[in-house]
């Protein structure tokens, strides 16, 4: 596709954004204004203008967004093997691997994911020797907060040395009780921080924050390496710029400093990742860093009707300190936004159920989205759907290890590890729907085991003496014996792979075309591989122990989005998605937005590297 063809169907502002290739450019892209199309066409435009592909770098925030961008660019210009279109973390990981010797690290790199981090913190909490922070009876929340503050330190590039110096200087001051307690808390956090960094260094492990901090340090301290990347990436494009944090911004500024062909696309109205450290002053910082920048505002919305846009404009106009834009659309007026006032949760759930049943006359299940703040808020609606056999799936953080299917998989792993002690797990296996064993037969089998003081695993040897379907029980016996024998000859991922395939987990879910369950199985296998890459020499019992710890935490459940089911999801998960029908429950005080709760641990303002917003956290909330 040539340059002229790329500009067809673009409105004047979009066209200007695509054609502006040189120098720093800030594109403020309102919701539904076609920003993904603008970015992908701009990349294609650069290629068609003769810019070598290896000189183009495009960064975004999720693997899915990067894959979509790459796919779109491929369709426009054919092969894009030399263009880097990826996430910030994947880009930095690649740079680490390119400079592994300079960073004094060993290959291959081991990356610790969020869940593994939380497990490490909770397993080691007693060795931190906390003196001021109270652990309490259930340390789950404390562990999550400790991980969060250390992640924030990385985002703000607060090193151990910097934190130590701050504590040392602050200790010399005369402090009131509140500031004294803050300092004592920081001392404990420093212990945890040191402990965690030591563990990673000794085991050649990095986390997602390290990917950024190590590259930032490398580029700052090694001018020759920085120069190499400045020459290579002469054209840089950043998507979702409003969600960048301090250190991401610094890495981009360093690489872009020489040629300054930097295009950032964002919208301050859409900064939903504040809880992940999104840096609220990045758009104003961009203007200060690049005073000669060009600014283009995309205000034409292609997604929504006039009525929906009217409500959105009216609501967002109350947001303080925003870049004022007025979205407009040439779409139809559309139906009015419905506001329904209901007495309580029960009535709200009943109302939503009735609405959905009416909507299904003209819509598929998957075209309906229900957006909530957190899963707890969705529970009454989910209960109503369950009661009326409405197909749905929850998208967001959930109890992954409490999913019945995952419990089944873990049961087989526990049986492989110790079959004699796995009575509960074997009983669970016998009750699986696809095995088709009648409950009365399971009762006879377990009663025989109890009467003869046998484990359920041993009872399979006496199956001829029990009034059950011998073929079915012998089939299960063979499967269990196979898994038990395999554990000594294959590694952990291979064992789990055999369980997923030899036990017919995949085959059964594929036969039902159950995309959600297929996705859960894929996610469990990935979880296994991630664990194995970290702890290659551990025993099967250690993996089971790890799962037991991990089950304390909610994990983001990946879904097969093709499922024709109602989408119940958190607002954060909904970012970037589109649905013909959207229902937002709980628009009441204290629910949406939720009540303001400050983080348990905060970084002192003196240690923050980013520019400070004039509003405090409560006002921003």
How remote is the C-alpha of 132 from its chain's centroid?
A: 32
H or E element in which residue 85 lies:
strand 84-87
Termini Cα distance of the chain: 45
Give the CATH architecture of domain 3-96+211-300: 3-Layer(aba) Sandwich (3.40)
Instruction: Determine how many CB atoms are found less than 10 A away from the CB of residue 440.
Output: 10
What pLDDT score was predicted for residue 611? 54
Q: What is the pTM of this model?
A: 0.88
Structural fold of domain 345-399+563-583:
Rossmann fold (3.40.50)
- Give CA angle at 375 (374, 378), nearest 5°: 100
Residue with tokens 């004294």: 180
Q: Do the beta carbons of residue 152 and residue 603 sit within 8 Å? A: yes
What pLDDT score was predicted for residue 275? 44
CATH number of 401-512+523-550: 1.10.486.10
Size of the chain in residues: 621
What pLDDT score was predicted for residue 396? 79
State which residues of the chain have pLDDT below 70: 137, 271-280, 558-562, 610-617, 620
Strands 397-398 and 555-556, bridge-based pairing: antiparallel
What pLDDT score was predicted for residue 562? 66
């Amino acid at each position: 596709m040539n340059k002229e063809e790329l500009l067809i169907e673009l409105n004047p502002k979009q066209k200007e954004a695509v054609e502006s290739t040189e120098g720093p450019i800030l594109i403020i892209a309102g919701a539904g204004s076609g920003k993904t199309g603008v970015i992908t066409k701009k990349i294609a435009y650069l290629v068609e203008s003769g810019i070598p592909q290896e000189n183009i770098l495009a960064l975004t925030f999720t693997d899915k967004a990067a894959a979509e961008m790459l796919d779109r660019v491929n369709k426009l210009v054919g092969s894009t093997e030399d263009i880097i279109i990826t996430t910030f973390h994947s880009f930095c990981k690649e740079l680490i691997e390119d400079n592994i010797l300079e960073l004094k690290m060993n290959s291959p790199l081991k990356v610790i994911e969020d869940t593994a981090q939380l497990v490490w913190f909770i397993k080691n909490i007693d060795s931190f020797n906390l003196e001021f922070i109270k652990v309490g009876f259930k340390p789950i929340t404390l562990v999550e907060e400790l991980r969060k503050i250390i992640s924030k330190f990385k985002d703000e590039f607060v090193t151990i040395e910097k934190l130590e110096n701050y504590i040392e200087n602050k200790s010399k001051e005369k402090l009131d009780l509140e500031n004294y307690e803050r300092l004592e808390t920081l001392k404990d956090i420093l212990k945890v921080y040191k402990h965690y960094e030591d563990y990673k260094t000794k085991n050649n492990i990095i986390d997602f924050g390290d990917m950024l901090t190590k590259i930032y340090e490398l580029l700052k301290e090694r001018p020759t390496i920085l120069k190499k990347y400045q020459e290579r990436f002469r054209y840089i494009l950043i998507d979702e710029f409003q969600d960048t944090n301090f250190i991401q911004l610094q890495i981009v500024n360093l690489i872009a400093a020489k040629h300054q062909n930097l295009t950032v696309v964002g919208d301050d109205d859409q900064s939903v990742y504040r809880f992940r450290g999104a840096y609220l002053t990045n758009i104003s910082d961009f203007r200060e860093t690049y005073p000669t920048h060009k600014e283009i505002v995309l205000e034409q919305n292609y997604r929504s009707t006039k009525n929906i846009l009217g409500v959105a404009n009216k609501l967002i106009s109350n947001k303080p300190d925003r870049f004022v834009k007025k979205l407009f659309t040439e779409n139809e007026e559309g139906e009015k936004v419905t506001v329904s006032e209901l007495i309580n949760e029960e009535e709200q759930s009943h109302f939503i159920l009735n609405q959905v049943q009416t909507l299904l006359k003209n819509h598929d299940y998957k075209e309906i989205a229900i957006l909530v703040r957190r899963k707890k808020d969705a529970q009454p609606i989910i209960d109503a759907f369950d009661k009326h056999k409405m197909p749905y799936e929850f998208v967001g953080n959930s109890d992954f290890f409490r999913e019945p299917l995952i419990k089944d998989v873990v049961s087989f792993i526990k049986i492989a590890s110790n079959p004699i002690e796995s009575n509960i797990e074997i009983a669970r296996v016998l009750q699986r729907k696809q095995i088709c064993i009648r409950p009365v037969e399971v009762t006879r089998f377990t009663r025989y085991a109890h009467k003869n003081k046998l484990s359920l695993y041993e009872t399979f040897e006496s199956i001829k003496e029990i009034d059950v379907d011998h073929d079915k029980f012998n089939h299960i016996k063979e499967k269990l014996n196979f898994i038990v024998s395999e554990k000594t000859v294959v590694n952990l991922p291979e064992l789990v792979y055999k369980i997923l395939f030899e036990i017919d987990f995949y085959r059964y879910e594929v036969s039902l075309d159950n995309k959600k369950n297929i996705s859960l199985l894929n996610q469990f296998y990935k979880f296994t591989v991630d664990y194995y890459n970290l702890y290659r020499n551990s025993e099967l019992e250690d993996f089971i122990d790890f799962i037991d710890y991990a089950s304390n935490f909610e994990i983001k459940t990946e879904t097969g989005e093709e499922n024709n089911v109602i989408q119940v999801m958190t607002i954060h998960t909904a970012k970037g998605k589109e649905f013909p029908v959207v229902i937002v429950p709980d628009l009441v005080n204290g629910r949406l937005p939720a009540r303001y709760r400050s983080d348990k641990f905060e970084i002192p303002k003196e240690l923050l590297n980013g520019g400070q917003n004039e509003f405090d956290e409560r006002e921003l909330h």
